[in-house]
């Protein structure tokens, strides 16, 4: 088995601040994802990466950057935090694009 | 864009009674459907994946897919209090690499 680790678990930032969320997986999966989950809304895809150094935009990519420097890690940057950005950010990985996705426990973002 | 809607928003059942959750989607060519469970402060856990019309069973969890009716359901047999969680439906349209998620159904199982 494997595990997905997200850091930090809780992130508090100021409006306008640049914030980075990190995700690590030891499944040796090729594809990794970042989703945002707002209260009362479903998960929405921000970015995904098919392999190392690859980046693909999801439906919610505006206001975010992502980086896949190596196969096991995928980071997400909120370029300028906004008050309406309080949400849980979920990282996931899968062997391939159509394969089972395994999710991390999430990072809860609060913007003051 | 694919629309995925789940009903009911919340559901309370007694332990041992069948729990039924519904999901409708807008793209009838979708070919990949998943049900996830999310306990608070934990990641998502996949319960059932289904790819063709009919039924798919995984333990106490059964998914029913009817693409003509744009509907996929999840039935939980003999639910336990530990099944209390949010259940998410995810749908992937044909030719699209990723999934669209519903808002979820919050299930509470009373002992």
Residue-wise pLDDT tens for chain A (112 aa)?
789 999 999 999 999 999 999 999 999 999 999 999 988 778 999 999 999 999 999 989 999 999 998 999 999 999 999 987 789 999 999 987 777 889 999 999 999 8
Of A4, A33, A59, the CB nearest to B43: A4
Of B90, B97, B101, the CB nearest to A97: B97
What's the pLDDT at B56? 97
Distance from CA of B77 to the nearest CA of A (A): 23
pLDDT band at B107 (very low <50, low <70, confident <90, very high): very high
Cα dihedral angle (B50, B54, B56, B60), rounded to 10 degrees?
A: 130
Burial class (CB in 10 A: 0-12, 13-18, 19+), B87: buried
Of B36, B98, B104, the CB nearest to A48: B98
Closest CA relative to residue B44, chosen from A24, A30, A4, A96: A4
Cβ neighbours of B99 in A, within 8 Å = 45, 101
Inter-chain touch B98–A103, beta carbons under 8 Å: no
Q: CA B65, CA B81: separation in Å to the nearest integer?
A: 26
The arithmetic mean of pLDDT across residues B94-110, rounded, is: 87
Distance from CA of A53 to the nearest CA of B (A): 18
Mutate to test the interface with A, among B3, B33, B99, B104 (most CBs of A within 10 A): B99
Q: CA B11, CA A47: separation in Å to the nearest integer?
A: 32
Q: How many CB pairs under 8 A join A and B?
A: 47
Q: Tokens 């995700």 label which residue?
A: A23
Per-residue model confidence as pLDDT tens digits over B22-80 = 999 998 888 899 999 998 767 889 999 999 999 999 999 999 999 999 999 999 999 99
């Amino acid at each position: 088995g494997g595990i997905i680790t997200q850091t930090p678990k809780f992130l508090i930032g100021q409006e306008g601040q640049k914030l980075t969320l990190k995700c690590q997986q030891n499944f040796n999966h090729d594809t990794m994802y970042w989703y945002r989950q707002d209260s009362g809304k479903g998960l929405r895809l921000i970015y995904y990466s098919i392999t190392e150094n690859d980046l693909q935009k999801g439906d919610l990519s505006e206001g975010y950057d992502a980086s896949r420097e190596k196969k096991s890690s995928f980071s997400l940057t909120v370029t300028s935090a906004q008050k309406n950005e309080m949400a849980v950010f979920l990282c996931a990985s899968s062997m391939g694009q159509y394969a089972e996705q395994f999710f991390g426990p999430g990072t809860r973002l609060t913007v003051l | 864009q694919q629309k995925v809607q789940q009903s009911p928003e919340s559901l309370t059942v007694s332990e041992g009674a069948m729990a039924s959750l519904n999901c409708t989607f807008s793209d009838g060519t979708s070919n990949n459907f998943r049900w996830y469970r999310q306990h608070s402060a934990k990641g998502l856990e996949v319960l059932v994946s289904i790819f063709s019309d009919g039924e798919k069973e995984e333990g106490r969890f059964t998914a029913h897919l009817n693409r003509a009716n744009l509907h996929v359901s999840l039935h939980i047999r003999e639910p336990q209090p530990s099944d209390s969680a949010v259940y998410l439906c995810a749908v992937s349209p044909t030719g699209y690499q990723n999934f669209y998620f519903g808002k979820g159904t919050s299930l509470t199982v009373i002992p």
